[in-house]
Amino acid sequence: MVARVALVGAGPGDPGLITVRGLELLRKADVVVTDFLVDVRLKQLIPKHVEIVDVGKRPGKTSFSQDAINRELIRLSRSHELVVRLKGGDPFLFGRGGEEVDALLGADIAVEVVPGITSALAGPMFAGVPVTHRGLADGYIVITGHRHADAPLDYDWSALVNSGLTIVVLMGVAHRGVIAKALVDAGMDTATSVTAIESVTWAQERCLRTTVGQLADIEIASPAVIVIGKTAGVDLGWRRSLPLAGWSIHLLRPFDVGDELAVGLRDFGATVVQAPAIEIRDPSDGGLALKAALREIDAYDWLVFTSKNGVERTLNEIADLRTLAGTKIACIGSGTRSALERHRVGCDLMPTEFVGESLVASFPEGSGRVLFPRARVAREVVPEGLTAKGWSVDVVEAYQVHIPEPMMTPDLAAALDVTVFTAASTVDGYRAQYPEVKPKRAVAIGPVTADRLRGVGIDQIHVAQEYSVQGLTELLSWLASSPADS
DSSP letter string over 106-174?
HTT-EEEEE----HHHHHHHHTT--SSBTTTBS-EEEEES--GGG------HHHHHHH-PEEEEES-ST
Give φ, ψ of 423 to 5 degrees.
-165, 160
DSSP letters for 324-344 = GTT-EEEE-SHHHHHHHHHTT
Residue 210: CB atoms within 10 A of its CB come to 19
Report which of 326, 325, 321, 346 is spatially closest to residue 336, judged by C-alpha positions: 346
**6 Cβ partners below 8 Å, 6+ apart?**
25, 29, 82, 83, 84, 85, 111, 112, 113, 114
How do beta strands 302-305 and 369-375 pair? parallel
d(CA 431, CA 435): 5
CA distance 307 to 313: 10
Contact 411, 387 (CB under 8 A): no
- Contact indicator for 144, 120 with CB cutoff of 8 Å: no
Beta strand pairing call for 206-211 and 224-228: unpaired
Residues identified as active-site: 35, 57
For 472, half-sphere exposure in the C-beta direction (CA atoms, 13 angstrom radius) is: 29
CB 246 within 8 A of CB 206: no
* 114 bridge partner residues: 8
Tell me which residue of 230, 300, 256, 284 sits closest to 422, measured CA to CA: 256
Query: Strands 140-144, 110-114: parallel, antiparallel or unpaired by DSSP?
Result: unpaired
Instruction: Please tell me the distance from the alpha carbon of residue 10 to that of residue 167, in angstroms, as a whole number.
Output: 23
